[in-house]
Structure 1
Amino acid sequence: MKKLLFFYFLLIGFYTYGQVGIGTAMPDPSAQLDVTVAAGDKGVLLPRVALINTTDQTTITNGNVESLLVYNTATQNNVTPGYYYWYNGSWRRLTALGDHPETITTLVNNTDGSYTYTSEDGTMTTFTVGGMMVDNGDGTYTFTNPDGTNVTIQGVSQALTILSYDNNTGMISYIDENSTLTQLDMSLAIDSWETLTDLKLNPDNIHLDYTDEDGVTNQIDLTTLVQNLETLTTIVANADGTFTYTDENGNATQIDISNLETLTSLALNADGKTLEYTDESGTVTTVDLSSVITNFETITTLVDNGDGTYTYTNESGNTTVIDVNNTETLTELVLSTDNSTLTYTDENGNDTIINLKTVVQANQKTTTLADGVNTTVSSTVSGDNTAWQVNVATAKGANNTQNSTLGVVKEADSNPTVNIANDGSLSVNLENTNDIKEVSGNYTVLPNDTILLGNASTADVSIVMPNPVGKKGKTITIKKQDTNEDYYINVYGNINGLSQLYTALPYSGWQLTSDGTQWKITNKF
């Protein structure tokens, strides 16, 4: 009997200690550990460790066990403070909704079958829902989901019982005749379609900046476009009824229109680029001014005044009035396909060919280039074109000397003290002109030296100053840079009428400035 009682109490003990209660004598039977706080003002602190990263297997010395829970205190690599549990070979963070930043977009039903989507950066995109469903023509319809998959809807007479859009959720809801609900997330579809591009004028008013979807900016040079078309010409009305035309090279050509026939109708087209000529029979011939002008000259503007006259304005703003009321009618005027000749056919069928190149080049002046004092000229001929090259000599010798040669300034091949930019501007290279040196032995000051730090920790240091003549304004600073007072920094030269300065005090020295005749002590420390 005693043995049975012993085993009975032993079993009760195992049952009692199979559960653990903290703050309570009767732990909940469904819990292995029951922590009860009667005052309701305390919590449970889990173990706090500093994880290295999400694959850390060294911080927990006895090994990571599946579902092991800790509070990480470190911010490093890919872990931040918070609760982590070990699962499937890595630490997983317990996250809250606020840990993931929300982006705000809107999708508005315009009530006209279209929707307007506004992305996170404010870009607005308008689209219609009908564009996502296609009639296959065989009694079926194909609907494309946002992920690109196609859904085929059967039934010729199938109708949408309900099609609605929720502006708050961004969902389109479709209920068919069988009350089956299908929902489409339009924000996913729009994000997959959306691209961001930008085209704007650069603040320099010279370039157009185009930014593509990848953020790459490309520039379009407007000056190149304008200069490819722009030329300078003049046309002047003479008192005798002729006109004098001067091309870009200054060549003058006289045009006599007194013997021409009367134009039945000659009008400048509204596009400002073509002339429309109508003969006696009503036939219209269009002359493309841009083709003629591109080959030879450019007329900035030619305006029909409505009274039989035209006003020509050249690139300089000068205006010339052309009166064609008294001329005879041109039966036909045709520009050749190579844009080099005009063929005029009169009422009798007689053709007259006008060589535009001859008209332009007639009386052309010859320009001659000659060598200058500091320049030489050379040329090469290729066909009808002559290419000229002007070479400018490089300046040599000292100023105000007989052997000096004027010309362009050339930058030194190595360690230049004066730099020349691409636009010709000059700048001083301070790294070469303001040289700082540490001196530990006898030393003679060089032209580029500005600061000398003497190290006399093991022996005296002697520094020889240069001749102050011709160096007015030049400043040199000399300082003892060590703490050993047994050795001196000695400075020799024409200094305030003296021949030598010396100091053994740590970090002491002088600032010496040339007045053109001797070195002056402008500062002592």
Structure 2
Amino acid sequence: MAQQGIGTNTPDKSSAVDIVSTKRGLLIPRLALTATNVATPVASPANSLLVYNTATAGTTPNNVTPGFYFWDTDHWVRFVDEDGEKTVIVEEGENIDVEETVNGNETTYTVSVENGGADNLVMVTIANPDFPGTPGAPEFITDWVTYDELIDATNGLNYDETTGELKLGGTLTENTTISVDEFDMIFDGGFSEGGTIKLTNLEAMDPDAAIPAGANVAVMLADGTLQTYSLEDLLEDLTVTADNGLTMDTNNNIQLGGDLITPTTIVTGTDGSGGTDTANTIAITNLEAADEANNIVVSETNGGVLRTVKRTVSSAITADLTINDTNISDYSPYVQEINISATIPATGDIDVTLPAAGGANSGQVVNIKIANTTDAHTGYLNIIANGGTLTYGAMPFQGWILKSNGTSWVIVGRN
């Protein structure tokens, strides 16, 4: 069949009929259709037969309105203009299902996502390995992944693949700040008020165990940063002083030997919990031997204060004497022995008054001796104790040995 040209002598080779005009168009047959599913008034229309419908007729969904229609197998199909109905094309994609439901001229498409075939899967977009090498391949495709493939737990977090939970406990990989200026933080069920952080249930250290080599101590700086230091570094930075009976040498060794600067009590005979233990005593051994020592260390009855006192004191008198620390140099209730040499004047007596007997001077000995070599005197030596005269005498070289039993003075001998 030859090509036909209307308005041209050179019809396009791809056409059966080529109509050319700059001021006229192709006028399609005009007729009145009655419904999209009724062929008449055309008898046995061929597929793609094109007409222009002039009628408004029929009922939904087979109604027709003025416009171009073409025949498709068993019904008329209307050409859609810009403001008219649109043709919707729905195609299935990777991991996307499309279910089509046709009701007359109305088609419903239900789009759903395929299941991944297992629990706890997530659909994500990933780079297409076939792009751009394969023509027509999209840049991204969809794929099913598990949470652990999707979630990357870092910087102090761990991901539990079994439960799908993110938890603290991983390794910090960058400088991290936790700010609680406006909110409180909860750790292990405990509530921290006032914008503070509590760390509970920390593992306790065995107090009897040796500190592991290389152990570090966490220190919080002024800006809230936690840093670790070795024990050696911390001790080097510490300023240690020793006083009140202690000294520190150039190697930072603390030793006994300093000056006491405050009243100090060392409690012995206790078990550390308020009870007593007679085995907890103090012993000082390897003391240097004294050369003609006359000092002794005594413990006061009240408070146990240690004092140094003379073992013996002496006094020569020619008048009355009351034995005390005012009248006798170095006297103390703890002096073991007091020696009194008395010279009786030619006339008149001499009274020697002993200190009151008590717990402090219990066991103290007083030696009193008349120093006169003749009896050329008229007076007596009176020893006053226990509220009255204990004894008296006037003979040359006469003497008495007296001892306190804690409640009274008694004569235990003569000399």
Give the alignment's TM-score, normalised by structure 1: 0.22
Structure whose residues are more often helix by fraction? 1
- Which structure carries more strand by proportion? 1
